[in-house]
Amino acid sequence: MPLFECEQCHCVDNTALTNFWQAHIEEKPQLCSACDPEIGKWHDKFPRIPAAEYTEKYPKARKVEYPAKGAAQSRG
Ligand SMILES: [Zn+2]
């Protein structure tokens, strides 16, 4: 499951459980479910922990790889 670091609280969240891709396309800050005003609360699918702590615990965890900001709009 692709993960990302929230730009506001720097916790780890899953792209599938947030508006990550929508925010990416619109070039908005990528927020976890708790920081996203449209969601407003943590989903409780897994514990909310800081990205630094997560990386220490799960060094091999796959983080999301996405194109650089702006690239999504260059589709001709
Ligand atoms: Zn957050």
Buried b (16+ CB within 10 A) or exposed e, 21-43: eebbeeeeebbbbbbbeebeebe
Q: How close is the Cα of 51 to the center of ligand 1, in Å?
A: 10
pTM here?
0.78
pLDDT surpasses 80 at 4? yes
Based on the number of CB atoms within 10 Å of its own CB, is 57 exposed (0-12), middle (13-18) or buried (19 or more)?
A: exposed
pLDDT surpasses 80 at 25? yes
Q: What is the pLDDT of residues 29-75, one digit of tens each?
A: 999 999 999 999 999 999 999 999 998 988 887 776 665 555 545 44
Q: How close is the Cα of 74 to the center of ligand 1, in Å?
A: 28
